[in-house]
């Protein structure tokens, strides 16, 4: 679903709130988004390492 600004509305499964009140995006959201934002997100499925600044291949679980 999109609003008039062209942005997609968030599904409740796209994020959760941390104890500190931050929005934490899920892996599902990142995959739907389609690219890495290079912010070092907790659930980044693209393997971005904030310490090195590189995208590393994530190993299968």
Residue-level pLDDT at 22: 94
Residue-level pLDDT at 8: 72
* Burial label, 56 (beta-carbon count in 10 A; 0-12, 13-18, 19+): exposed
**Which of the 8 DSSP states describes residue 54?**
E
Residues near 45 by beta carbon (within 8 Å), at least 6 away in sequence = 27, 30, 31, 58
Residue-level pLDDT at 61: 56
Distance CA 40, CA 55 (A): 10
Residue-level pLDDT at 31: 93
Regions of the chain with pLDDT less than 70: 1-6, 58-61
- Model's pTM, two decimal places? 0.70
């Amino acid at each position: 679903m999109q609003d008039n600004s062209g942005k997609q509305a968030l599904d409740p499964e796209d994020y959760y709130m941390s104890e500190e009140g931050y929005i934490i995006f899920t892996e599902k959201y990142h995959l739907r988004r389609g690219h890495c934002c290079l912010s070092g997100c907790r659930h980044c499925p693209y393997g971005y390492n904030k310490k090195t600044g590189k995208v590393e291949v994530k190993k299968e679980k």
